[in-house]
Chain A
Amino acid sequence: MRHWKTWAAAAGVALVAGSAAAQELYAPNLAYRTGPFAATGIPLMNGQADYFTMLNERDGGIGGIRVNFDECETGYSTEKGVECYEKTKAKAIVTQPWSTGITLQVLPKSNVDEIPILAPGYGFSPMADGRVFQWAFNTPSSYWDGASMILQYLEQEGGSLEGKKIAFLHLDHPFGKEPLPFLEAKAEEIGFSLVPIPVGLKEMQNQSAQWLQIRRERPDYVVMWGWGAMNAGAITEAVKTRFPMENFVGVWWASHDADLRLVGADGAGYKAISWSYPVLDAPVMQDIRTHVVEAGLSQTSEEEMQGVFYSRGVVISMILAEGIRAAQAEFGHAEITPSELRWGLENLNVTEARLAELGMTGMVPPFATSCADHTGHSGGWMLEWDGEKFVKASELLKPESALVSELEAREAQAYAEANAPWPVNETCSVGG
């Protein structure tokens, strides 16, 4: 009995403490630090968490209110993701689903629960159409943007793609299939032949069959949409089969330093398109070092902080923080609601000057969103592995907006029809 009383008292204290701390913004992150994708998840999650810890420590939060950047562990499993979503949605101002599978499940609920989904650089490309997907944001670049930038880069470097052959090595999963509609449309338009080569989830680590096919097909380029163990598998296999690395280009999730470090100098020349870049001496990184890492509030390491993924985590949190800031400025109070945050995310305007203020010059291209455009389509850089680290290999590349937005509008419409009744934002007419 005595024990029960102690526990009850502890629970009571916890409840009181919970209600006393109401003056905060609750921004949960559906993180994955466990499970098969943990190796790639941890640097991203650390970057995200450290940015908010830094804001809390340095400025006392945003607009004078602390941000409770809570993590809910999903292990990249959709079931746990739904559990986390249900657990956090009562207080949350935002959902960060962190997997295409979880995004697909949460997306239809967003109109009912009215909590914005922030999926920077992942999720569903048509989410860019803010009139249909009022609550979803994939700022600053969608997968179709990425595919468009890759094709442009290849054309810049090696001349017209007409008559060439591109092998599209992708994870056989909604994520990997994402850019196919765009690539197919472009293949028809330009006249290159596209060879999609799927990698099953079970074959991620052993891709000898796929690379045998690549050797037989002799493509001019290999474009890879990979994630987790698939990237390391593909890169080691490419080195083994002596595929010319400079003709091998990946998406931004295939730019994890640890994957390339496995092959080291043999991987030199490998490229990945990216909308973020690690600027190691950026003021924001210095602030994170002084306020977070040296204060012992972080789980990161020096090596991890220099990687592409850590700094991408920082950029992702910056997008959310800027959204919160915009909403606070518009509505004039610090404790914003989810729908006010949606307004903030729809009215982001991160200019070069703003990036300089944030101390993030060069870490992400300037971008702006509107109620019709939830992506920003700000472009990115081609990164190249020089044998030790990723370096910028191109100027800022811009996606080809005309085709991308036409596809987005069509697919978004199809989604809305399949999920009727689906509310569409009629009042929004910006951007046609």
Chain B
Amino acid sequence: MLYRTAGQFKTSYAADQALFPVRQDAILLGLVLVLAWVVLPLTASEFAFQTMLIPVLIYALAALGLNVLTGYAGQLSLGTGAFMGVGAYACYKLVTLFPWLNPVVAILMSGAFSAGVGVAFGIPSLRIKGFYLAIATLAAQFFLVWLFEKWAWLYNSNASGAIQVPNLEMFGLWVAGPQAASVTQYYLVLGVVTLMTVLCINLTRGTLGRTWKATRDMDIAAELIGINLMRSKLTAFAISSYIVGVAGALYVFMWKGAAEPNVFDIPLSFQVLFIAIIGGLGSILGNYLGAILIVGLPVALNLVPGALGLPISSAMVEHLNIMIVGALILFFLIIEPHGLARLWALIREKLIVWPFPY
């Protein structure tokens, strides 16, 4: 009923190839955008900003970057955490070396460094595939984290070996560091994430995206129909690492405020990979759903016993939380192995034909 597509005629090729051939999709997205841009900032508390909204967006962006590489181009990567680190350290060096630089420009520029490193570690992908490539990216993971620890220039040789975000100003407003208001940071993150998402949607629908998908589905066939595999794989590595690097810069500058090297160690890579897998490889929407499930849900669950007045100790809540989230991940993967995005697609298809399924 709500999702009925009857009566929506396409009279031109452009209309048929539009981003939203079904009107309800556009309306739904509009509602989500209004929620994210207007309703949430007006109603959310400091706690919600800092523990749910901002991290969910940043993790979703990192997963989006990984999804370009793994979901669309089929190149398995376990080095996401380290590439996020490259973005974060590049951004730190940029803002400390050039204090006059606009913070948003610095964040967007830092992705370029990550892209460069990503391409360098992507070169083995021309020869090796699948699990073997995963090992090569794992090497990037270990090497880069080691570098963040040993290369004192990266953290301006301060005694603790950690990077600390200075107070950064933009048009008279604090945007990073302890002085910044959460709502400012939220809007900044949301702006960058929205921009990157629009870019990714269009990239994956265009020539480049089709090249990636062909490479993913069967690289020999892709090569035979004239796709340059080297170009296809390396652009995937570059664009993916760029997005991941920007996510890393946001992660430290817009959210954490400080980071030591081991923050970017392998658990972060796995977390982002899980978000991408549970959300759905080869989808844009999935990254958001996955991030909500893995990053947002545990925080919300932690609040439940307190809100109900149940006398459970905090450590017990944590144990329960781990069990519940783990069970949910299993549940979702069993009912739909292709991830949450696919689950939503199925629901949507059922809604379109509801109440008269055929």
Contacts and interface: CB of A to CB of B under 8 A. Distances in A.
* Chain A CB within 10 Å, residue with most, of B177, B179, B314, B319: B314
A100 B159 CA distance: 13
A271 B70 CA distance: 51
A108 B159 contact: no
A72 B309 contact: no
B307 A33 contact: no
Interface stretch (B45-53, B80-88, B347-355): B45-53
A402 B14 CA distance: 77
Given A10-B308, A14-B307, A73 B315 contact: yes
A220 interface: no
A90 to B, nearest CB: 8
Contact of B160 (A18, A86, A108, A177): A177
* Chain A CB within 10 Å, residue with most, of B50, B51, B149, B258: B258
Given A7-B308, A177-B161, A419-B164, A112 B178 contact: yes
A201 B179 contact: no
A60 to B, nearest CB: 21
Given A11-B308, A419-B167, A31 B314 contact: yes
A78 B178 contact: no
B309 A13 contact: yes
Contact of B262 (A11, A71, A173, A180): A173
Interface string A116-155: 0000000010000000000000000000000000000000
A351 B149 CA distance: 42
B285 interface: no
B315 A78 contact: no
A172 B149 contact: yes
B162 interface: yes
B256 interface: yes
Interface string B282-323: 000000000000000001001100011100011101110000
B158 interface: yes
B336 interface: no
A418 B166 contact: yes
A34 B166 contact: no
Contacts of A164: none
B307 A174 contact: no
Interface size on A, as a range, is 35 or more
B196 to A, nearest CB: 22
Contacts of A14: 307-309
A105 interface: yes
A414 B262 contact: no
Contacts of B318: 33-34, 73, 75
Given A14-B308, A73-B317, A112-B178, A87 B149 contact: no
Given A87-B47, A177-B161, A109 B178 contact: yes
Nearest to A181: B159
A11 B305 CA distance: 10
Interface string A50-82: 000000000000000000001111010011001
A10 B309 contact: yes
A109 B178 CA distance: 5
A420 B160 contact: no
A109 B303 CA distance: 23
B167 A421 contact: yes
B307 A124 contact: no
B190 interface: no
A110 B204 CA distance: 44
A220 B345 CA distance: 68
B164 A124 contact: no
B333 interface: no
Interface in A367-418: 411, 414-415, 418
B263 interface: yes
B315 A86 contact: no
Nearest to A109: B178
B219 interface: no
A181 B265 CA distance: 26
Interface size on B, as a range, is 35 or more
Contacts of A349: none
Interface in A188-231: 198, 200-202
Contacts of B178: 108-109, 111-112, 419
A17 interface: yes
Contacts of A79: 55, 256
Interface string B31-57: 000000000000000110011000100
Contact of A201 (B55, B156, B177, B265): B265
Contacts of A418: 96, 156, 158, 164, 166
A101 interface: yes
Contacts of B166: 418-420
A104 interface: yes
* Chain A CB within 10 Å, residue with most, of B156, B165, B262, B315: B315
A418 B256 CA distance: 17
B59 to A, nearest CB: 10
Contacts of B46: 86
Contacts of B160: 100, 104, 124, 174, 177-178
Nearest to B96: A418
A83 interface: yes
Given A11-B307, A174-B160, A178-B160, A108 B315 contact: no
Nearest to B181: A112
B260 A173 contact: yes
A34 B302 CA distance: 15
Nearest to B267: A77
Nearest to B149: A172
Contacts of A73: 314-315, 317-318
Nearest to A70: B314
B257 interface: yes
B173 to A, nearest CB: 14
A62 to B, nearest CB: 22
A417 to B, nearest CB: 10
B158 A17 contact: no
B51 A82 contact: yes
Interface in A1-42: 7, 10-11, 13-14, 17-18, 31, 33-34
A180 B46 CA distance: 37
* Chain A CB within 10 Å, residue with most, of B164, B260, B263: B260
Contacts of A172: 149
B168 to A, nearest CB: 11
Given A87-B47, A112-B178, A180-B159, A105 B309 contact: no
B299 A72 contact: no
A82 B159 contact: no
A78 B161 CA distance: 16
Contacts of B177: 108, 419
Interface in B119-178: 149, 156, 158-162, 164-167, 177-178
User: Nearest 7 CB-CB pairs, A to B?
Assistant: A14-B309, A108-B178, A33-B315, A174-B160, A73-B318, A73-B314, A71-B314
Interface of B: 46-47, 50-51, 55, 96, 149, 156, 158-162, 164-167, 177-179, 256-258, 260, 262-263, 265, 299, 302-303, 307-309, 313-315, 317-319
12 contacts: A10-B309, A11-B308, A33-B315, A82-B51, A86-B47, A108-B165, A109-B257, A173-B260, A177-B159, A178-B159, A198-B149, A418-B166
